[in-house]
């Protein structure tokens, strides 16, 4: 006879680990746990990209991403200290027809 159902125990441990992760990382990022959860959800659903991912998504280098942002041609979104690029903004840039050479 099992003293503790292993599946229930695994689920409980995973729940505690998620809570600890969210608590520690929301403090590090300077955001609420709810904001961090939303940010993670966006990345998981690939609605948001970090700099390197954004560069790969639009077929440019990370340094080109930096130039586009500096020139005001590509929007960034900030969540606390975390900066990311929304898929919607990247798609708008692609559809705008602006080339990286125009920004240089």
- Cα separation, 55 vs 38, in Å, equals 22
Asked if residue 1 is part of any domain, the answer here is no
Longest dimension (CA), the chain: 71
Q: Is the entire prediction scored with pTM above 0.75?
A: no
Residue whose structure tokens are 């809570």: 19
- Cα separation, 39 vs 48, in Å, equals 8
Asked if residue 96 is part of any domain, the answer here is yes
Asked if residue 43 is part of any domain, the answer here is yes
Asked if residue 65 is part of any domain, the answer here is yes
According to DSSP, the residues that pair with 48 across neighbouring strands are 86
- Cα separation, 91 vs 103, in Å, equals 17
Q: Domain containing 55: what range?
A: 6-103
Asked if residue 87 is part of any domain, the answer here is yes
pLDDT at 75: 92
Asked if residue 58 is part of any domain, the answer here is yes
pLDDT tens by residue, 26-79:
887 788 888 888 877 777 788 889 999 999 888 889 999 999 999 998 999 887
- Cα separation, 85 vs 22, in Å, equals 22
How many separate domains does the chain show?
Answer: 1
């Amino acid at each position: 006879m099992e003293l503790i159902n292993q599946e229930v125990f695994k689920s409980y441990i995973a729940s505690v680990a998620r809570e600890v992760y969210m608590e520690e990382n929301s403090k590090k990022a300077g955001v609420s746990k709810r904001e961090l959860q939303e940010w993670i959800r966006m990345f998981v659903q690939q609605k948001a990209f970090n700099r390197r991912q954004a560069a790969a998504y639009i077929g440019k280098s990370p340094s080109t991403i930096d130039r586009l942002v500096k020139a005001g041609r590509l929007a960034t979104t900030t969540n606390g200290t975390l900066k990311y690029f929304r898929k919607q903004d990247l798609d708008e840039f692609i559809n705008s027809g602006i080339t990286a050479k125009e920004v240089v």
